């Protein structure tokens, strides 16, 4: 895990479920074939209803739909409300975000299975915020996440926000997922 992640914010509201992150109709691609796996990035967040994407700025697409070959987003940090990743236990959800180029999600709270899938797979870093940041950050703001200090700096607005420490999952996140953590710890 890098000490600093810098990138553009994509803001979502409360209760973003896994079918909004990657709709079930798109679960046709192989996760082990790199040519197919990248399609999950192209389709990430396509299930978020119109008018909820890019809150509070409006309907901003997460991945530019004008180029069907584009599988990456310009946004690397998602800022969301409460209960992010709720719904089914779809492990493809954090994978889709990672394939789109997301490196971290900062939310008020997470659905437990989404949180564990993010950590165990080494897909995205799931930080929690003690404050409601979706009103303090706008889609397109440039952010800097400092993992060592558990802070988020909004470079666009000149504001700093404290995040909750990763706690017991930090070594797994730092290793890049549960299997790499187990290898390093001599468990495999």
Q: E strands within the chain?
A: 4-11, 75-79, 104-107, 125-128, 142-146, 151-154, 159-162
- Please give the distance of CA 47 from its chain centroid, rounded to a whole number: 15
**Average pLDDT along the chain:** 93
List the CATH number of the domain containing 121: 3.20.19.10
CA distance 83 to 76: 20
DSSP β-bridge partners for residue 75: 8
How many distinct structural domains can be found in the chain? 1
What values do phi and psi take at 127, rounded to 5?
-85, 145
Please compute the mean of the pLDDT values over residues 155-167 and round it to a whole number.
97
Taking residues 161-168, report their average pLDDT.
97
Confidence (pLDDT) at 59: 72
CA proximity to 136, closest of 116, 119, 153, 151: 153
pLDDT category at 54 given cuts 50, 70, 90 is: low
Token pair for 70: 């584009």
Q: What is the dihedral of CA 92, 97, 12, 111, to 10 degrees?
A: 40
Which residue(s) pair with 173 in the sheet?
Answer: none
End-to-end CA distance of the chain: give it in Å, rounded: 21
Q: What is the mean pLDDT of residues 47-64?
A: 75
Residue 78 domain boundaries? 4-184
Q: How far apart are CA 22 and CA 85, in angstroms?
A: 10
């Amino acid at each position: 895990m890098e000490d600093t992640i810098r990138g553009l914010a994509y803001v979502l509201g409360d209760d973003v479920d896994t079918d909004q992150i990657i709709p079930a109709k798109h679960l046709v691609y192989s996760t082990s074939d790199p040519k197919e796996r990248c399609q999950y990035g192209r389709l990430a967040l396509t299930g978020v209803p119109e008018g909820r994407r890019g809150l509070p700025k409006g309907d901003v697409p997460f991945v530019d739909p004008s180029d069907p070959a584009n599988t990456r987003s310009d946004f690397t940090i998602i800022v969301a409300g409460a209960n992010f990743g709720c719904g089914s236990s779809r492990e493809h959800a954090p994978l889709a975000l990672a394939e789109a180029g997301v490196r971290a999600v900062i939310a008020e709270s997470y659905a437990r299975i989404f949180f564990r899938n993010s950590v165990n797979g080494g897909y995205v870093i799931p930080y929690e915020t003690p404050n409601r940041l979706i009103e303090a950050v706008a889609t397109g703001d440039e952010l800097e996440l400092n993992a060592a200090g558990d802070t988020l700096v909004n470079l666009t607005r000149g504001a700093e926000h404290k995040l909750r420490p990763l706690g017991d999952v930090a070594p797994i996140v730092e290793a890049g997922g549960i299997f790499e953590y187990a290898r390093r710890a001599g468990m495999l």
